[in-house]
């Protein structure tokens, strides 16, 4: 006899055991081994320190307290949620918050010059390189609703907020932005003269995370570390930076429409300096209001009388006018100010929280 391989199919027990089997020819089923296929395991992501920007900006929305600064971050690859730690020293860091949104951050390609406010700046173009994300043109109506807002760092920690109606892609990641609205949300005083190429640019949208600090934390120098929330604060994937929140969102806007003496007949004597109050309230943009809201605890102003860069006298008032008395003029200048004279002044609205607001500098002509 000879042996042959069989595969059992079933076994049944009765008076005799019945077995059903199939013959198998294993040699005909054998397949010769082929060449080994190379394996390609998924690469393990390596997270470096993110690009992080801390911004002290005016209040951007009603659902965020005005005093809170913002953090914007970008990384490729993105590590998921980032943790924000802070400490008054270089150790004992405590977690403040986490966030998971990647912002559109970039830099200026060329110098960016100052321009007009309260109307379109049609003479300047903002050319930026973005690390990620896109920009697109919007209609004027959409622009007036707050679209295409960007923050440009004109000096260390100083940001101008502007909006762009037209966005033109001129190279991968590079945009030429025109039809600009400058100095938005009271930042006209932050314009650079010019802002140099390489300055940081951040698109202002919902990807910015507000830092939940208390008003008592303002003006305190903190050390910050920001990095992947899944890793310890001492990890190399964290970036450290000093940052002192100043509460820019609480700072009163500069005043406007200072009255020029030459526009009305007058005789030498007391001078009444007049101006119009502005409001940092988001609702102040309403065209239906008779008066813009007063969000400060008390309406108060300081007026500085200047001689060159020197302050000759300071006046304090609780209305939108201040009297520069004849006797004060004689003390300061030796005579009353009259036709042909000029007077340089600075006006500040005052805040109980942060002191002086944004400055309005003007030259009065008699």
The predicted-structure confidence for 352-361, as pLDDT tens digits, reads as follows 999 999 999 9
Residue 68 lies in a domain: yes
Residue 26 lies in a domain: no
Q: How far apart are CA 10 and CA 52, in angstroms?
A: 71
Cα torsion 215, 248, 199, 116 to 10°: value is 170
In this structure, the chain runs to a length of 366
Neighbours of 87 (CB within 10 A): 15
Res 28 pLDDT > 70: no
Res 80 pLDDT > 80: yes
Q: How far apart are CA 74 and CA 129, in angstroms?
A: 14
Q: How far apart are CA 312 and CA 310, in angstroms?
A: 6
The predicted-structure confidence for 197-235, as pLDDT tens digits, reads as follows 999 999 999 999 999 999 999 999 999 999 999 999 999
Do 170 and 147 fall within a single domain?
A: yes
Nearest to 281 by CA among 302, 301, 253, 257: 253
Domain containing residue 332: 261-365
Predicted confidence band at 330 (pLDDT cuts at 50, 70, 90)? very high
Residue 218 lies in a domain: yes
Do 88 and 71 fall within a single domain?
A: yes
Residue that has been written with the tokens 């030796």 in this structure = 334
Residue 114 lies in a domain: yes
Res 61 pLDDT > 80: yes
Residue 258 is classified by DSSP as P
The count of domains in the chain is 3
Res 42 pLDDT > 80: no
The predicted-structure confidence for 122-164, as pLDDT tens digits, reads as follows 999 999 999 999 999 999 999 999 999 999 999 999 999 999 9
Neighbours of 30 (CB within 10 A): 8
Taking CA atoms, 23 is separated from 4, 17, 20, 163, 287, in Å, by 7, 19, 10, 82, 94
Do 244 and 293 fall within a single domain?
A: no
pLDDT number for residue 48: 82
Do 217 and 352 fall within a single domain?
A: no
The predicted-structure confidence for 237-271, as pLDDT tens digits, reads as follows 999 999 999 999 999 999 999 999 999 888 899 99
Res 41 pLDDT > 80: no
Res 291 pLDDT > 90: no
CB 306 within 8 A of CB 314: no
Residue that has been written with the tokens 């940001």 in this structure = 159
Supply the pTM of this predicted model.
Answer: 0.82
Do 68 and 92 fall within a single domain?
A: yes
Res 31 pLDDT > 80: no
The predicted-structure confidence for 154-174, as pLDDT tens digits, reads as follows 999 999 999 999 999 999 999
Cis status of the peptide bond prior to 194, with omega within 30 of 0: yes
Do 180 and 237 fall within a single domain?
A: no
The dihedral built from the CA positions of residue 274, 280, 281 and 282, taken in this order, carries a sign that is positive
Do 121 and 75 fall within a single domain?
A: no
| Residue finishing a domain among 216, 249, 282 | 249
Quick one: tokens of 251? Answer: 């700072």
Of 81-90, 96-105, 290-299, which gets the smallest average pLDDT?
290-299
pLDDT number for residue 6: 80
Do 142 and 194 fall within a single domain?
A: yes
Residue 156 lies in a domain: yes
Residue 217 lies in a domain: yes
| Residue finishing a domain among 249, 274, 304 | 249
CATH code, domain with 347? 2.60.40.10
Residue 92 lies in a domain: yes
Quick one: tokens of 335? Answer: 């005579």
Burial of 74 (0-12, 13-18, 19+ CB in 10 A): buried
Do 139 and 271 fall within a single domain?
A: no
Residue that has been written with the tokens 């707050």 in this structure = 146
Average model confidence (pLDDT) across the chain? 92
Res 30 pLDDT > 80: no
Burial of 57 (0-12, 13-18, 19+ CB in 10 A): buried
CATH code, domain with 226? 2.60.40
Predicted confidence band at 289 (pLDDT cuts at 50, 70, 90)? confident
CB 224 within 8 A of CB 242: yes
Residue 234 lies in a domain: yes
Quick one: tokens of 81? Answer: 């949620």
Do 241 and 272 fall within a single domain?
A: no
Do 94 and 114 fall within a single domain?
A: no
Do 119 and 129 fall within a single domain?
A: yes
Res 14 pLDDT > 80: no
């Amino acid at each position: 006899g000879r042996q042959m391989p069989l595969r059992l199919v079933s076994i049944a027990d009765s008076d005799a055991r019945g077995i059903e089997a199939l013959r198998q020819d294993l040699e005909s089923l054998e397949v010769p081994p082929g060449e080994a296929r190379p394996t390609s395991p998924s690469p393990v992501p390596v997270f470096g320190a993110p690009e992080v920007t801390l911004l002290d900006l005016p209040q951007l929305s009603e659902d965020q307290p005005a005093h809170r600064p913002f953090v914007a971050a970008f990384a490729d690859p993105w590590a998921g949620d980032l943790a924000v730690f802070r400490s008054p020293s270089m150790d004992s860091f405590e977690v403040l918050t986490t966030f998971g949104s990647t912002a559109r951050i970039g830099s200026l390609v060329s110098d960016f010059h100052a321009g007009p406010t309260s109307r379109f700046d049609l003479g300047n173009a903002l050319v930026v390189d973005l690390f990620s994300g896109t920009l697109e043109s919007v209609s004027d109506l959409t622009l007036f609703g707050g679209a295409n807002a960007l923050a440009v760092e004109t000096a260390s920690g100083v940001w101008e907020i502007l909006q762009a109606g037209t966005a033109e892609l001129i190279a991968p990641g590079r945009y030429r932005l025109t039809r600009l609205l400058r100095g938005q949300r009271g930042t006209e005083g932050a314009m650079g003269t010019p802002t140099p190429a390489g300055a940081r640019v951040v698109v202002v949208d919902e990807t910015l995370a507000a830092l939940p600090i208390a008003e008592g934390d303002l003006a305190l120098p903190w050390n910050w570390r920001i990095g992947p929330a899944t890793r310890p604060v001492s990890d190399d994937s964290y970036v450290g930076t000093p940052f002192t929140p100043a509460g820019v969102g609480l700072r009163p806007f500069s005043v406007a429409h200072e009255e020029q003496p030459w526009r009305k007949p007058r005789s030498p004597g007391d001078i009444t300096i007049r101006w119009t109050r502005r409001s940092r309230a988001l609702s102040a943009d309403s065209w239906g209001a008779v008066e813009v809201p007063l969000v400060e605890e008390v309406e108060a102003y300081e007026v500085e009388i200047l001689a060159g860069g020197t302050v000759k006298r300071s006046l304090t008032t609780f209305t939108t006018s201040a009297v520069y008395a004849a006797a004060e003029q004689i003390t300061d200048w030796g005579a009353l100010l009259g036709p042909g004279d000029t007077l340089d002044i600075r006006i500040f609205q005052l805040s109980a929280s942060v002191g002086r607001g944004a400055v309005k500098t003007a030259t009065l002509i008699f």
